């Protein structure tokens, strides 16, 4: 059932029927013929839903050591974040001092006095996976030794340490880029080296979308960055991030705003799939460059698009507002939905100007695994406004799919659930930060928290757990319009569940 849905989704995502027909083949081995679509599931069986965790770079840059990793891990547990799914501790650049005379990387004895293997083992004992960092170049971006030419040795060492995740950057690549094939070959060497270790290691490519990985990286990696580096601004343009579209971007750069990265996603929507996610880069929530509504928008749109959710702030000093954003299980459940798809931007209109240029509003939709549809009404204009989503727009694809009859969605009544309505209060979040807040209480009667370690999001969704569905705020009649007041630089995220319709029931009875 799940497999069938996944294949159907992938078939839809692949779009043009000719491309689809060329790519599929029939696997008859089980006796029940099945259409297999390459890339519809993970190349190495890992990362069927986007990875979640915490990464050191956005908040700490090079200043990461074992104390930071261990204390952040303790707080992720105490604040309930590990059990919401943030279960990877991802160490970024600047951890080594070079190679020893046998060519193996050596961790800094000042930053990691216990030794990397021992730190990793303690993190494992706390229920985390551990992520290491390197570059597919002669140096890392901060000019520490890179892995180009040392892939086998480095993969062996990391596997022997117990590494579970690799963020693999693109700096100092010696000019080995410029065509998809050249980049593919360079990144594939590490993919093969990781595979040969026989350890399950999630492979997170970080080549900034260079050479259009959208068509090839699913064959060798579990996620791929699709833009230059993020920075903590909602919409400030920056000359160092020159592209506004993902495909063909020759110089991805860095200092890309939330809106810049988000608006690069629509053209590559179909290239997100189970086992390979378009990585919009680590979260900036908590780092101080955006207001609460802007962080809600950032977090919501990363979740809508199945981007990896890697927290990138100082956990030890997390504010209650930011804990409440990162802890919203109804929004995380979108991200972790087995459909593993990205959102479609149905429309975008330009509106009033703000300090950085013309504002815009947009409608994003995505069909989820259980048949629900989620919509996001995004107001990136400079003032609050009433926004409308018509059923015609929400179900545009179903309407225009060339069907010989009207899509059933338009004649159904849809219940609307507001996924931010049960946001944890600041008082409750503060109590959790203070240690008395029962992050540990999580069951169906508690609507603000969830324990994904105990019950997967997929199971929670099947069981209609309240925490994953937000608050019921009304319904949309057949062919109706949904309207909501959306604040400046904010987003409304709503899950629509069909009440069914007469015609559907009739068909079921036949």
Ligand X SMILES: *[C@@H]1O[C@H](CO)[C@@H](O)[C@H](O)[C@H]1NC(C)=O
Q: Are 203 and 194 in contact (CB under 8 A)?
A: yes
Is residue 314 packed enough to be buried (19+ CB in 10 Å), middle (13-18) or exposed (0-12)?
Answer: middle
Residues in 304-343 at the binding interface with ligand X, rule: CB under 6 A? none
Kindly state whether residue 445 participates in binding ligand X, applying the rule CB under 6 A: yes
Query: Applying CB under 6 A, which part among 12-20, 97-105, 165-173, 266-274 lies near ligand X?
Result: 97-105
With beta carbons less than 8 A apart as the criterion, state whether 143 and 93 touch.
no
Radius of gyration from C-alpha coordinates of the chain:
23
Q: How far is the CB of 441 from ligand X (least distance, A)?
A: 4
Q: Is 195 a binder of ligand X (CB under 6 A)?
A: yes
Instruction: State which of positions 156-175 bind ligand X (CB under 6 A).
Output: 157
Return the residue of 98, 435, 436, 502 that touches ligand X, per CB under 6 A. 436
Find the shortest distance in angstroms from Cβ 161 to ligand X.
9
Residue 229 annotated in active site: yes
Shorter beta-carbon distance to ligand X: residue 71 or 463? 463
In whole angstroms, give the CA distance from residue 191 to residue 219: 10
Using the contact rule CB under 6 A, the part of the chain among 7-15, 193-201, 326-334, 393-401 near ligand X is: 193-201
- Asked if 443 interacts with ligand X (CB under 6 A), we say yes
The answer to the question of residue 355 lying near ligand X (CB under 6 A) is yes
Min dist CB 243 to ligand X, Å, is 25
Contacts to ligand X from residues 399-418, by CB under 6 A: none
Among 65, 92, 164, 169, which one carries the catalytic annotation? 169
Least distance CB 459 / ligand X (angstroms): 10
Question: Which contacts qualify for 247-252: CB closer than 8 Å, 24 or more apart?
Answer: 247/212, 247/214, 248/212, 249/209, 249/210, 252/208, 252/209, 252/210, 252/227, 252/228
Structural element, H or E, at residue 60? helix 57-60
Is the CB of 63 or the CB of 352 nearer to ligand X? 352
Cβ-based nearer residue to ligand X, 179 or 483:
483
- Please pick, among 229, 232, 337, 418, the residue that the annotation labels catalytic: 229
Cα separations in angstroms, 137 against 82, 146, 172, 244, 338: 32, 5, 5, 26, 34
Q: How far is the CB of 360 from ligand X (least distance, A)?
A: 11
Looking only at residues 17 through 46 of this chain, which bind ligand X when binding is defined by CB under 6 A? 26, 28, 33, 43-45
Tell me how far apart the alpha carbons of residues 360 and 353 are, in angstroms, rounded to a whole number: 9
Encode 119-158: b = buried (16+ Cβ within 10 Å), e = exposed.
bbeebeeeebbbbbbbbbbbbbbbebbbbbebbbbbbbbb
- Closest by CA to 346, choosing from 361, 363, 359, is 363
H-run or E-run covering 70 = helix 66-78
Give the binding range for ligand X (CB under 6 A) out of 253-261, 313-321, 443-451, 471-479: 443-451
- 65 has catalytic annotation: no
Question: Which of 39, 80, 266, 312 touches ligand X (CB under 6 A)?
Answer: 80
Least distance in angstroms from the C-beta of 227 to ligand X: 25
Phi, psi of 262 (to 5 degrees): -60, -45
Instruction: Identify each DSSP E strand in 6-73 by its residue range.
Output: 25-27, 34-36, 52-55
> Count residues contacting ligand X (CB under 6 A)?
43
Per-position x/- string for 100-139, each x denoting binding to ligand X as judged by CB under 6 A, each - no binding? xxx-x-----------------------------------
Measured at the alpha carbon of residue 439, what is the angle toward residues 433 and 441, in degrees to the nearest 5? 155
**Residues 381-407, buried b or exposed e (16+ Cβ, 10 A)?**
bbeebebebbbebbbbeeeeeeeeeeb
> With CB under 6 A as the contact rule, which of the stretches 13-21, 137-145, 182-190, 435-443 interacts with ligand X?
435-443
DSSP states along 116-145 = HHHHHHHHHHTT-EEEEEEESSSB-TTSSB
Alpha carbon distance 191, 206 (integer Å): 13
Shortest CB 435 distance to ligand X, Å: 10
Q: Which of 70, 108, 200, 293 binds ligand X (CB under 6 A)?
A: 200
d(CA 205, CA 217): 8
Under the criterion CB under 6 A, does residue 385 sit at the interface with ligand X? yes
Residue among 18 and 198 whose Cβ is closer to ligand X: 198
CB 382, CB 353: distance < 8 Å: yes
Alpha helices in 90-224 (DSSP H): 116-125, 151-161, 180-196
Contact residue for ligand X among 21, 179, 386, 425 (CB under 6 A): 386
Is residue 83 part of the contact set for ligand X (CB under 6 A)? Answer: yes
**Minimum distance from residue 200 beta carbon to ligand X (Å):** 5
Q: Which is nearest to 132 in space by CA: 96, 91, 95?
A: 91
Query: Which ranges of 289-350 would DSSP assign to H, the alpha helix?
Result: 292-304, 320-326, 329-335
Give me the least distance between CB of 388 and ligand X, in Å please. Answer: 4
- Binding to ligand X, residues 480-499 (CB under 6 A): 483, 497
Residue ranges in 452-471 that form contacts with ligand X under rule CB under 6 A: 453-454, 463-464
Q: How far is the CB of 28 from ligand X (least distance, A)?
A: 4
Nearest CA to 324 out of 440, 435, 234, 449 is that of 449
Query: Does residue 359 bind ligand X (CB under 6 A)?
Result: no
Residue 451 found at the interface with ligand X (CB under 6 A): yes
- The residues that touch ligand X, with contacts defined as CB under 6 A, are 26, 28, 33, 43-45, 80, 83, 100-102, 104, 157, 195, 198, 200, 353-355, 361, 382, 385-388, 431, 436-443, 445-446, 451, 453-454, 463-464, 483, 497
Active-site residues, by number, are 169, 229
């Amino acid at each position: 059932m799940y497999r069938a849905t996944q294949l159907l989704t992938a078939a839809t995502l692949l779009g043009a029927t000719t491309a689809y027909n060329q790519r599929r083949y029939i696997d008859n081995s089980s006796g029940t013929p099945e259409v297999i679509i390459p890339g519809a599931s993970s190349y190495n069986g890992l990362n069927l839903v986007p990875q979640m965790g915490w990464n050191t770079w956005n908040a700490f840059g090079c200043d990461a050591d074992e104390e930071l990793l261990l204390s952040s891990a303790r707080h992720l547990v105490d604040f309930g974040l590990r059990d919401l799914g943030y279960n990877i501790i991802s160490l970024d650049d600047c951890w080594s001092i070079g190679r020893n005379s046998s060519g193996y990387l050596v961790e800094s004895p000042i930053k990691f006095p216990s030794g990397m293997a021992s730190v990793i083992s303690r993190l494992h004992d706390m229920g985390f996976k551990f992520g290491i960092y390197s570059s597919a170049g002669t140096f890392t971006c901060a000019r520490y030794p890179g892995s180009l030419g040392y892939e086998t040795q480095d993969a062996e060492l990391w596997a022997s340490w117990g590494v579970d995740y690799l963020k693999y950057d693109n700096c100092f690549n010696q000019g080995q880029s410029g065509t998809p094939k050249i980049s593919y070959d360079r990144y594939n060497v590490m993919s093969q080296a990781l595979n040969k270790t026989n350890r399950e290691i999630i492979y997170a490519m970080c080549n900034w979308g260079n050479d259009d990985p959208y068509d090839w990286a699913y064959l060798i990696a579990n996620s791929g960055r699709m833009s230059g580096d993020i920075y903590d601004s909602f919409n400030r343009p920056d000359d160092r991030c020159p592209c506004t579209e993902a495909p063909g971007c020759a110089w991805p750069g860095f200092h890309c705003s939330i809106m810049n990265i988000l608006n690069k996603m629509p053209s590559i929507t179909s290239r997100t799939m189970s086992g390979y996610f378009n990585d919009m880069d680590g979260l900036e929530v908590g780092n101080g460059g955006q207001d609460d509504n802007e962080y809600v928008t950032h977090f919501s749109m990363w979740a809508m698009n199945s981007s990896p959710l890697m927290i990138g702030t100082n956990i030890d000093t997390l504010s209650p507002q930011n804990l409440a954003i990162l802890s919203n299980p109804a929004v995380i459940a979108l991200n972790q939905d087995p459909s593993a798809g990205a959102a479609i931007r149905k429309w975008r209109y330009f509106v009033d100007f703000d300090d950085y240029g013309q504002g815009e509003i947009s409608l994003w939709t995505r069909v989820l695994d259980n048949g629900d549809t989620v919509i996001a009404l995004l107001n990136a204009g400079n003032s609050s406004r009433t926004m409308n989503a018509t059923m015609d727009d929400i179900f545009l694809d179903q309407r225009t799919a060339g069907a010989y009859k009207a899509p059933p969605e338009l004649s159904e009544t849809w219940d609307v659930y507001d996924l931010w309505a049960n946001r944890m209060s600041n008082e409750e979040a503060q109590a959790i930060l203070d240690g008395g807040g029962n992050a540990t209480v999580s069951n169906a009667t508690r609507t603000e928290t969830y324990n994904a370690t105990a019950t997967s999001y997929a199971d929670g969704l099947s069981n209609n757990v309240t925490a994953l569905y937000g608050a019921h705020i009304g319904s949309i009649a057949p062919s109706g319009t949904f309207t909501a007041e959306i604040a400046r630089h904010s987003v409304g995220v709503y899950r629509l569940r069909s009440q069914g319709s007469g015609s559907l029931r009739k068909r079921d009875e036949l």
